[in-house]
């Protein structure tokens, strides 16, 4: 049985000085990416969704220059403009991406990325800016004297971003970047969910280094929110038989407990004290209330024990040749 949503906890985001709600709204699908998520998101609905998010208890929003080639940011900018600006204390995070035409990922691409983001969002600076998907280039190229990481630091020094982080998937790659001591926040996606614990040691190391930790994609791209009948994809790729079998077991446990699978999937990272905030994607205004309800849903300890006993891919995404 769910309970009325309490005020969301706020946590210090590492040593940044930023305070964020333990829930963050993600906007990856707001620019409309049917090839990844299986559905269109019309502009009017996307703008209304962001407006609802800005008026919700959540004070943290995540986007990227690369989401639909900036369309997610443009729609967020429309909502911000209609509202007359961001709420006080709101943390808007975006990410720098490779050049969307040439896929060059160098200093020039990073500079163009943030300049385009600020223009689309209609802001002069952002509280948090991530290096996005650094696995797209070699670590050596990323860390070159005039490479993307150096440019990201210059952008911070110029005041266009207050703090910088690194956001990606493969944990081995992310570990290389957090060990540089340059980044203040880590964002990992799809690697710490009901189905995958690959990022466990990575989160330990990030916390030891005083970094903020953000976990993205708790629903594995949607299937852990909507169930097996909704999609054949997990983490934006075709689902294999082992994954399908595990999800079916989780669905059965949740059904027996009268528990939405999405509530269990969302609360799994929310329960972890190492994780400062969990990014849950939204594409409709009504998803705001649903996500808040899922975050507050009462789940009995015995149900958690059963879920834990039936969850977790041994190999994880980074070793799973799907």
Q: What is the DSSP string of 180-205?
A: TS--SEEEEESSSBTTB-TTHHHHHH
* Residue 322 pLDDT > 50: no
Taking the domains of the chain in order of start, what are their residue ranges? 18-319
CA atoms within 13 A on the CB side of 180: 20
CB of 106 within 8 A of CB of 150? no
* CA separation for the pair 189, 196 (Å, rounded): 10
pLDDT tier at 315, thresholds 50, 70, 90: very low
Beta bridge partners of 222: none
When pLDDT is averaged across residues 2-6 and rounded to a whole number, the result is 47
pTM equals 0.93
* Fold for the domain defined by 18-319: TIM Barrel (3.20.20)
Q: Which pairs with CB-CB distance under 8 Å and at least 24 residues apart come from 83-90?
A: 83/51, 83/54, 86/54, 86/123, 87/54, 87/55, 87/59, 89/19, 89/59, 90/54, 90/59, 90/60, 90/61
The chain-wide mean pLDDT, for the chain, equals 92
Residues 75-79, mean pLDDT to the nearest whole number:
97
Quick one: average pLDDT of 153-163? Answer: 98
Task: Report percent pLDDT > 70 for the chain.
Answer: 93
How far apart, in Å, are the Cα atoms of 10 and each of 60, 270, 306?
A: 10, 12, 29
Query: First CA to last CA across the chain, in angstroms?
Result: 36
314: pLDDT strictly greater than 80: no
**pLDDT at position 38 over 70:** no
Q: Is the model's pLDDT at 316 over the cut of 90?
A: no
Least confident of 19-23, 37-41, 151-155: 37-41
Q: What is the pLDDT of residues 112-154, one digit of tens each?
A: 999 999 999 999 999 999 999 999 999 999 999 999 999 999 9
CA–CA separation, 295 and 298 (whole Å): 9
């Amino acid at each position: 049985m769910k309970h009325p949503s309490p005020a969301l906890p706020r946590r210090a985001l590492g040593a940044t000085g930023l305070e964020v709600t333990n829930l963050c709204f993600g906007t990856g699908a707001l620019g409309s990416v049917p090839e990844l998520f299986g559905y269109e998101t019309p502009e009017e609905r996307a703008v209304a969704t962001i407006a609802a998010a800005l008026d919700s208890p959540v004070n943290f929003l995540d986007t990227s220059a690369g989401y639909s080639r900036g369309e997610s940011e443009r729609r967020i900018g429309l909502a911000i403009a209609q509202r007359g600006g961001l709420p006080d204390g709101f943390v808007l995070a975006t990410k720098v991406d490779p050049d969307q035409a040439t896929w060059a990922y160098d200093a020039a691409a990073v500079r163009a990325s943030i300049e385009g983001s600020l223009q689309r969002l209609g802001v002069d600076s952002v509280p948090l800016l991530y290096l996005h998907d650094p696995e797209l280039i070699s670590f050596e190229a990323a860390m070159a004297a005039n490479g993307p990481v150096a440019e990201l630091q210059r952008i911070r020094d110029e005041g266009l971003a207050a703090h910088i982080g690194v956001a990606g998937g493969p944990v081995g790659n992310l570990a290389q970047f957090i060990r540089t001591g340059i980044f203040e926040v880590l964002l990992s996606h799809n690697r710490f969910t009901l189905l995958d614990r690959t990022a466990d040691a990575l989160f330990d190391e990030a916390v030891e280094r005083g970094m903020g930790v953000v976990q993205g994609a708790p629903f594995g791209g949607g299937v852990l929110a909507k169930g097996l009948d909704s999609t054949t994809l997990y983490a934006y790729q075709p689902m294999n038989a082992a994954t399908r079998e595990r999800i079916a077991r989780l669905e059965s446990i949740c059904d027996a407990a009268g528990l939405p699978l999405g509530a269990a999937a969302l609360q799994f990272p929310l329960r972890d004290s190492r994780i400062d905030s969990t990014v849950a994607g939204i594409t409709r205004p009504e998803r705001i209330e649903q996500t808040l309800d899922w975050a507050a849903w009462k789940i009995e300890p015995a149900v958690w024990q059963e879920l834990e006993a039936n969850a977790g891919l041994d190999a994880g995404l980074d070793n799973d040749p799907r």
